């Protein structure tokens, strides 16, 4: 009886070692790799890709953005639903075509919101703020006022 268990254990161990390694699919906070945010959002934010390719033509993605205190994003929309969870700090969000700090609502850690493609919105960070965004690729910001788009012009 002990021999079959030992053989099974060896086979399982061999299979585990022979399997190809896969992309990381679970993260502790110290394993999140931060880098610069893409040029279509204002400079100063940091980005971490947790899942998928946010710039792909399609597919699921999960990203985190670390925003410094006072960071602002001008009024914009997205081509797909944006699902946002505030992990730390406070994200202020306003609706409309003009940035108006007096009309923004504050969302602290643990808050969640989803914004459909037709929703014109803008945001600001109060204190260093980390948000997690997930949805369907591609991530794209369509600024209401084209002059607000920080993408370098060629």
pLDDT digits (tens, 9 = 90+) for 134-146: 999 999 999 999 9
What pLDDT does 48 receive? 97
Q: What are the 10-residue block averages of pLDDT along the chain, 154 residues in total?
A: 44 38 78 95 97 96 98 97 98 98 98 96 98 97 97 85
What is the C-alpha to C-alpha distance for residues 141 and 75, in angstroms, rounded to an integer? 9
Q: Is 83 helix (H, G, I), strand (E, B) or coil?
A: strand
pLDDT digits (tens, 9 = 90+) for 59-69: 999 999 999 99
pLDDT digits (tens, 9 = 90+) for 11-21: 333 333 333 44
Q: In sequence order, which ranges of the chain are alpha helices (DSSP H)?
A: 2-18
Length of the chain counted residue by residue: 154
Does this model's pTM top 0.75? My answer is yes
**What's the helix, strand, coil split of the chain in %, to 5?**
15, 40, 40
């Amino acid at each position: 009886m002990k021999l079959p268990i030992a053989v099974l254990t060896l086979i399982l161990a061999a299979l585990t070692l022979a399997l190809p390694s896969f992309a990381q699919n679970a993260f502790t906070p110290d394993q999140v790799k931060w880098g610069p945010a893409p040029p279509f959002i204002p400079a100063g934010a940091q980005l971490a890709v947790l899942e998928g390719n946010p710039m792909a033509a399609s597919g699921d993605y999960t990203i985190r953005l670390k925003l410094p205190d006072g960071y602002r994003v001008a009024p914009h929309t997205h081509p797909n639903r944006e699902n946002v969870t505030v992990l730390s700090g406070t994200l202020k969000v306003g609706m409309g075509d003009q940035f108006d700090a007096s009309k923004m609502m504050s969302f602290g850690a643990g808050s969640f919101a989803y914004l459909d493609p037709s929703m014109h919105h803008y945001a600001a960070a109060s204190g260093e703020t980390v948000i997690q965004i997930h949805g369907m690729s591609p991530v794209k910001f369509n600024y209401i006022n084209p002059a607000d788009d920080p993408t370098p012009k060629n």
